[in-house]
Amino acid sequence: MPGFADRLNGIAISASAAMTDKASALKAQGMKIVSLSSGEPDFPTPGHVVEAAIVAARGGDTKYPPQDGKPALKKAVQAKFQRDNNLHYGLDEILVANGAKQIIYNAMMATCNPGDEVVLPTPYWISYADIARLGGARIVQVPCPAGNDFRLSARDLEAAITPKTKWLVLNFPNNPTGACCPRKDLEDIAAVMMKHPHVWILTDDIYEHLIYDDFEFCTLAEIEPRLKDRVLTVNGVSKAYAMTGWRVGFCGGPRELIAAMNNMQGQATSGINTIAQAAAIAALEGPQDYLNDRAQEYQARRDLVVGLLNAIPGLRCHTPQGAFYVYPEIGACLGKTTKGGRRIESDTDFVMALLEEQQVATVQGAAYGMSPFFRISYATDTDTLREGCRRIAEFVSSLT
């Protein structure tokens, strides 16, 4: 058989996607799986957004779109950045892509060369590392310990930057921990980055509207305007607007970077689905008040899950201020044996045994660069969350 590209060495299917697929396969076999592995809102896409897509399709908006996004959507993105983040981008500083993931892919592919380094506060969303590696870069992890609420220390960041650093990636609220970055922390991070003008900075703000406990969201280019010509501000409609399947991401950044990313996109996918773009315009320009209502529902779910998990001897769960994940620590479970006879040596062993013996799908912390933890998504209904936590409690209590 002919061979495959070396760039795929060490690149695997996303652990969260793999676990979700395995859970779906077990469901198809008749098992009653509690799926807590997928980072996908269970709310429906808002009705006015769906209606806008229908109108666009019936009106003939079905031709090739501009590669960088339709002007109407770019104007809606421009207004969103001004409204929510106090950032002004020209239309030639905005790019629309097939989800925020393609934005990140475009950026890394347009800038990284073999030997470059990408600094990732850890734990991190799985795809940051794999995309950077596909671009030939080396990953430099900066641990953000649970004892510091999974926040990034400016001192640790400073120590990680070298002349080879090409990117710093920031993701707050964070996947997988739900950790947020207070304004003071972001100011300290900005002060560090001012000293390193050779480094691009990517801020993935996809969970911007999912914040709790009166936390005030802010983003780096807003905090330090002098960094704006090196910051790529990434966002999209997937999480806040419950539009994961529509695949619309967008970003604002310096026009030279945006042009290079658009060039990369042209070789991969060209412009994105016109019907989805019409839907995204409706989402960004339409009512925004329901975002707060949904955030309040997520906060109630967070409180439920954190309370139930912390009541389980052997687990410790941080209370996040954003996103819809919790990241419990399972160190006390290591070295023990399950009722089914499986020895738990790692968080990967833990989540696999939990799925096989209690039919609860979660994701191992190793996939996100920090063990021994596992990720639970609470983007589902409270009955499912209660049942999932009940099974987790039963599983942990049975370990010997």
Q: What are phi and psi of 296, to 5 degrees?
A: -65, -35
Which residues, including other chains, have CB under 8 Å from residue 381's CB and lie 6 or more apart?
42
Listed in order, the ranges of the chain carrying CATH 3.40.640.10 are 47-285
pLDDT of 61 above 80: yes
Q: What is the model's pTM?
A: 0.95
Listed in order, the ranges of the chain carrying CATH 3.90.1150.10 are 6-44+290-397
pLDDT digits (tens, 9 = 90+) for 311-350: 999 999 999 999 999 999 999 999 999 999 999 999 999 9
**What is the residue whose two structure tokens read 């500083």?**
93
Q: What are 122's strand-pairing partners?
A: 143
Report which DSSP code applies to 94: E
Of residues 330, 311, 306, the one with CA closest to residue 378: 306
Sheet with 374-377: list strands edge to edge: 325-326, 374-377, 363-364
Kind plus residue range of the DSSP H or E element containing 349: helix 347-358
Report which DSSP code applies to 246: G
Pairing of strands 117-122, 200-204: unpaired
Q: What is the mean pLDDT of the chain?
A: 96
Report which DSSP code applies to 180: -
- Which CATH code fits 47-285? 3.40.640.10
CATH for the 6-44+290-397 domain, from 3.40.630.30, 3.90.1150.10, 3.40.50.720, 1.10.287.610: 3.90.1150.10
Q: Write out the E strands in 269-371.
A: 325-326, 360-361, 363-364
The pair of three-digit structure tokens given for residue 131, joined into one six-digit string: 């995309």
Q: How confident is the model at residue 12 (pLDDT cuts 50, 70, 90)?
A: confident
